[in-house]
Amino acid sequence: MLDADQLLQRAREETGLEDLNGEQLFEALQRLVDALNQEAELNAIGAYRAAVSITKALKNRLKIEYYFARHPEVLEQTVERPIFIAGLPRTGTTALHHMMNEDPAIRTIRLWEAEDMVPPAETATYLSDPRIQASREGVKMTEQVMPGFFKTHLLDAEAPDECHLFFNQTLVSVEFTASYNVPSYTEWVYQQDFVPLYAYHKKQMQLLQSKKPGRWALKTPLHQLGLRAILANHPEAVIVQTHRSPMSFVPSGFSFNELIRKGNSDHVDRKAVGRDWMRMLELYTGEFEAARAELEPSHAGQFIDVYHDDFVANPWPSLEKIYAAADVELTDQGRAAMQAWLARNPKGKHGQHEYCLEDYGVTAEQVENLFRTYSERYQLS
């Protein structure tokens, strides 16, 4: 059984720090731990991984607050027109994000620095920071814990990762809702006010860019719920919405989520996976589409649509639109670096990801009904 007080004590002992600066954090911690203990049916590996993830988030939070207290000037920095990739899961967000990461002008959060943010990495030693090796060791274990993972998702210590890793420091994060069967915690996450959560997200962007500047490009499916909060904190942000036929990305998402959960529990119900993902997709799509319709007229030119199949066939028109909206030059150097990434990462590099919609208790008709308005709006078949 996980114990919230013990996890908090461990994080404080390992850092020698006390101040977490956030009352909501304690509620989030307790709700998450209760759900993990009562609902997730964790196996030994799952319990260990959950404890490590929570402790890591608390340690990061403690060190971040300590750093802010001694360097308040960090929070005066301007975050210039960041790019938020806000597509639904499995719609091509990862490939787009990884390509943009290859451009020296673009700043992403890489896995290794997300795992240990303080002190912030510096430009001069960004490619040789000793924290990289520790992260590499963790990545090596992924395939052992979750066989087949690399067929479904790109993961590397030195590659960009999702900025749900910023939300981990609030303990309101889709890392936990995706990795474990925790319905009570998941519903609580959906009900949160995301404006302060994105404010803390922004503070971490300021922290990391203080020593390694660049134009931010960030991605996580949670941005589907956070559009209003993004523009409240970043009024000039560029919003990139990726699109793909629902009949392609929905079953892919089911399979991916099942794979993640299997690494943490010996009792994964495929129908529960299907039910949870359909609930998530309904909320995400409904909230994002409503927010976009309301906000786009007052944020003209800030929304870019990227279609998966078009991007796969030829990514450059989409990238050019994104760069133009963000007022960033797409240089020959940037193009060459992205083209090299494409050459290194052909489709199916790690094997074929196979899945079947009906295995998860969901019918094609249910998917079509859920996405009918969305598919018509964006002309998706």
Q: For CA atoms 113, 119, 122, 127, give the dihedral sign.
A: negative
4-18, 32-46, 179-193, 250-264: range with lowest mean pLDDT: 250-264
Question: Is 69 contained in some domain?
Answer: no
Question: Is 109 contained in some domain?
Answer: yes
Instruction: Give residue 153's pLDDT.
Output: 46
Question: Is 203 contained in some domain?
Answer: yes
Instruction: Give residue 142's pLDDT.
Output: 58
Question: Is 251 contained in some domain?
Answer: yes
Structural domain boundaries enclosing 196: 80-378
Query: By the 8 A CB rule, do 65 and 20 touch?
Result: yes
Q: CA 270 to CA 254: how far, in whole Å? A: 8
Q: Which pair of structure tokens corresponds to residue 266?
A: 């010996």
Instruction: Give residue 145's pLDDT.
Output: 54
Instruction: Give residue 156's pLDDT.
Output: 72
Confidence of residue 149 (pLDDT cuts 50, 70, 90): very low
Whether pTM > 0.85 for this model: the answer is yes
Residues in the chain: 381
Confidence of residue 179 (pLDDT cuts 50, 70, 90): very high
Q: Determine the residue type at 235.
A: P
The mean pLDDT of 76-94, rounded to a whole number, is 95
Return the CATH number at 115.
3.40.50.300
Instruction: Give residue 154's pLDDT.
Output: 54
Question: Is 204 contained in some domain?
Answer: yes
Residue 141 has pLDDT above 80, yes or no: no
Question: What percent of the chain is modeled with pLDDT above 90?
Answer: 83
Question: Is 176 contained in some domain?
Answer: yes
Torsion, Cα of 106, 109, 110, 112 (10° steps): 140
In the chain, how many domains are there? 1
**73-79: long-range contacts, CB 8 A cutoff, minimum separation 24:** 74/206, 74/207, 74/210, 75/203, 75/206, 77/206, 77/209, 77/210, 79/202, 79/205, 79/206, 79/209, 79/216, 79/234
Question: Is 162 contained in some domain?
Answer: yes
The average confidence (pLDDT) of the chain is 92
Instruction: Give residue 81's pLDDT.
Output: 98
The mean pLDDT of 107-118, rounded to a whole number, is 94
Question: Is 140 contained in some domain?
Answer: yes
